[in-house]
Amino acid sequence: MWPSLLPFLYAPSSFVAAISAAAAVSLAGLGLSELCGANLAYSKFWNAMAAAGGRGQKRGVAGVLLPSRGGMLVLYAPPALIAVAAFFAVPGVVEDTRMQVLSAALAVHFLKRVLEVLFLHRYSGSMPLATALTVSSCYLLITGSMIYVQHLSHGLPDPTVDLLYPGMLVFVVGITGNFYHHYLLSRLRDGAGDKGYKIPSGGLFDLVICPHYLFEILAFVGFAMISQTLHSLAVAFGIVFYLTGRSCATRKWYASKFEDFPTKIKRLVPYVF
């Protein structure tokens, strides 16, 4: 076990340090891919790829396609309904308050996304099964590894700075802001027959194109503060890199599609970036 160099982290082992580095590098690599135009093929990016390549190319490249709603359910259901539930079901794993709060927060985050997919969002088009499984596997690994590392930290000396309750507050702000801006996105389409894209407005959409990503980042920062492990901190940093790249690609997409797209609207952070 290494000594903790930061007063707000549990002392990590070599194993925890290794998987933390792997998580951060992998997520940062996804963010770099988004910046370079190799976007994960869901939402508006898959629709654009399909339109550019034609139906024959779409089938050849993507393989099996799912309806967008079904694909999004594949993205979020395994972490929320399998990984966290399994840890709760195994005796002796979810053993202390910090572990209980982290596990519950992760379950709430992903369950919220499942409910949004089922009852809030309005979808059009399809999603490659390969993309759905890739993102789902990533979320499953993130969720499982965060809880497992928290379990490994049980019994270690507590960090001298306790961030559990501030972390709960940051998580609540993040998940609430994320839901609110998802709600605004869902209102952009008038009904089931409306499948077009519009420039979002309201809330922080008047300042940045991806406020829902900003609040999702806050949720993962909340996870890291609740957990206070090196691994959860590495995941939060990785999510920052990935969603920063995704927000850059999203703003570029909107600017290319709408001639009247406001130049004042930033990517992720109001007035800054």
Q: Which neighbouring-strand residues pair with 208?
A: 266
At 2 the pLDDT is 65
Say how far residue 184 (Cα) sits from the centre of its chain.
Answer: 18
Neighbours of 263 (CB within 10 A): 6
Residues of the chain with pLDDT under 70: 1-5, 43, 46-62, 78-81, 92-93, 191-195
Distant-in-sequence contacts of 74-78, Cβ < 8 A, 24+ apart:
74/129, 74/132, 74/133, 74/136, 75/42, 75/113, 75/132, 75/135, 75/136, 75/139, 76/110, 76/113, 76/114, 76/117, 76/136, 76/139, 77/110, 77/114, 77/136, 78/136, 78/139, 78/140
- Our measurement of the distance from residue 3's CA atom to the centroid of its chain's CA atoms, rounded to an integer in Å, reads 30
Rounded to whole angstroms, the Cα distance separating 16 from 201 reads 42
Give the pLDDT confidence score for residue 59 in this predicted structure. Answer: 47
Report pTM.
Answer: 0.91
Output the pLDDT for position 60: 44
Angle 129-152/230-257 helices, nearest 10 degrees?
Answer: 150
Tokens found for residue 196:
């077009």
Domain-wise residue ranges, the chain: 65-156, 158-188+199-272
What is the tens place of the pLDDT at every residue in 34-78?
988 888 877 677 655 555 554 444 444 447 888 888 888 887 876
Report the pLDDT value the prediction gives residue 93, as an integer from 0 to 100.
67
pLDDT at 70: 86
pLDDT computed for residue 43 by the predictor: 67
Task: State how far the Cα of 81 lies from the Cα of 199, in Å rounded to an integer.
Answer: 33
- Each residue of 220-231: pLDDT tens digit? 999 999 999 999
